[in-house]
Amino acid sequence: MLPVLAMYSMENGACGDFVTGAARWQGELVVGTFDQGACVLRRGEWVHIPLPSEMVNDVAVVGDKLWVATAEGLVEVSRDLSTVVYGEVGDNAPRSSPGLNHPGANALAVRGKALWVADVLGPVRLDTARPADGWRRYRWHVTGHSYQAVAACAESTFVGSEDDGLALRGLELGSQNGKSDWHHVNALDGLPEDWVMALACAGPRAAWVGTYRHGVGKLDAQGYTPVAGLDDAWVQALAVDGDTLWVGTADGLYRVNDRAEKLTTDDAWTVVVAGDELLVGTRTGLIVYPRAAPPPSR
């Protein structure tokens, strides 16, 4: 078991209990919740962040800006908590114009200054140094629906859907979607199922893939290799810390090195490595653990 450093819920002022996103934003703790919005802990007080929807699916930090994925758009948040909301862009809009394929933003991933968004209809890439024209939407490059997970790796990008497995770029695996540079990998190509819930980078051209009810595995040029001991896990979150893979599932948090080790029984919906901390969002609040396990007692 891991020692608990801190716990945050509505009992001690947080905006909600069902935590779906967490981050450290210039030292301050941010949580996003399933139906109570997002808030930031400032000078010991939780401050609500104004959003277009109280349904928050993910949060991420790029530079000095906080980004919040909500059911009604992607929100850029400045330090004074002023916001810019990016919603759906029409089919006839210029390719680089600000906005998403669909207002429902489900997951975020950061690579350098690039922010990747998985919205309901597909992936979106934003160069955050150019928020006015640094957008690229890939709705017509992918075939799945309700994209819920994204991993932005050094030489590849992976996006997970509810019904067609993975859309991936930078790894020639599965079937190519027409003339685009996106490929698709699903159950016909070796995935245990087509519903992908969570993703994390496993190398420049590889990803850890967490599925709805059939565990987690590594996808690379050799195909899909499952993690032993998690074959039937309902995977909801993944995070990589060096050689350690953290797996958040419906029945607890697991740490995977040479083997899968169950550490908690909390329903883990988000897992984030932040400095010396591991932030784990559950249905009953945010739990902060140390990243490193304590030495064994003698």
* Global pTM value: 0.96
Phi-psi region of 73 (alpha: psi -120 to 50; beta: other; left: phi over 0): left
56 in Cβ contact with 38 (< 8 Å)? yes
Class of domain 6-290: mainly beta
pLDDT in the model for residue 144: 85
Each residue's pLDDT tens digit, 210-252: 999 999 999 999 999 999 999 999 999 999 999 999 999 999 9
CB of 146 within 8 A of CB of 162? yes
Q: Where are the domains of the chain?
A: 6-290
Residue 293: predicted pLDDT: 58
Residue type, 104: G
Regions of the chain short of the pLDDT cut 50: 295-298
From CA 245, how far away is CA 287, in angstroms rounded?
18
